[in-house]
Amino acid sequence: MADKHAPAFDVRHQSGFPAIAMTCFFLLYLPIAALVVYAFNSGTSVAVWEGVSLRWFAAAWNNEQVIEASWRSVRIAVCAAVIATTAATMAALATTRTRPYRGLNAKYAFISMPLMVPEVVVAVALLIFFSWIKLATGYIGLGYLIAAHSAFCIPFAYLPIRARLEMTDLSLETAAADLYATPWKTFRWVTLPLLWPGILAGLMLAFVISLDDVVITEFVKSAGQDTLPTYMLGQLRRSVTPEMNAISTVFLLLSVGIVTVFFFVSRKRN
């Protein structure tokens, strides 16, 4: 018989856990730290330190191709994040605010399928599908990239929104219905404010996933539609300079900024 007074199991108190955790963090963040440090290297090497300089940040800022690819990446990521989060919110409401029925788990699996299928498979499928549309319509704009990124980002936005809905007490929505609130008013004044942190988390995840996607973009994009990740990949195939480190450092700061803003906003909401 188990001892009721025995301390609860806690992995943090196990022998060797702090050393293993610190080793994992060290191995994870050391390459990132090296990338950031060499972004300030005054020389042209990414392995030999030659002094502190901001020349590579200036070079990236004055590179028209980098600026064009960056703005294109941001436009695609914003559109894809908004579309994916909207679709994910509707899907989460449809699959959580209903009684369990046969086939509901299959819908969960269907929505989450892009997370389990190799990204290259999704990219090839989208390439074939959009090729048919291009031949039929002649359109070769950014709409294909936005559609592809939106479809791929939906499960990333869906998971935090669904988790938030499952954690939300239904009693407030039930009380609103008892007070003769319409379904739309219940959603607008009760569900949405409670769901907002989950929507922000889904929006942030979708934006970041779209912003740094390479595989799907490489397969779907047309000529002259390089995003910043695909531009960097093309440059790395030719030559490696600290300019790539500088661009990556800016990307890192952008990601940290997004996470920080989300943390404070969600804490205020809570």
* Under 8 Å between Cβ of 143 and 170: no
CA 239 from chain centre, in angstroms, equals 28
What is the spatial distance between Cα 216 and Cα 139, in angstroms, rounded to a whole number? 19
Over residues 55-69, the pLDDT tens digits come to 888 888 888 888 898
| Local structure of 41: helix, strand or coil | strand
Domain membership flag for residue 44:
no
Count of domains observed in the chain:
1
Mean pLDDT of the 236-243 span: 77
Domain membership flag for residue 52:
no
DSSP secondary-structure letter at 12? G
- Hey, what are 19's tokens? 């050393």
CA atoms within 13 A on the CB side of 151: 16
Percentage above 70 pLDDT, the chain: 93
- Hey, what are 182's tokens? 């319409």
Whichever domain contains 250, its CATH number is 1.10.3720.10
Neighbours of 84 (CB within 10 A): 27
Domain membership flag for residue 55:
no
Statement: the pTM of the whole predicted model exceeds 0.85: no
The predicted structure's pLDDT at residue 83:
95
Domain membership flag for residue 111:
yes
What is the spatial distance between Cα 41 and Cα 248, in angstroms, rounded to a whole number? 14
Residue 270 has pLDDT above 80, yes or no: no
CA atoms within 13 A on the CB side of 116: 6
Over residues 188-231, the pLDDT tens digits come to 787 778 888 888 888 988 998 898 889 999 999 888 888 988 88
Percentage above 90 pLDDT, the chain: 17
Residue-range definition of the domain harbouring residue 124: 64-269
The predicted structure's pLDDT at residue 163:
86
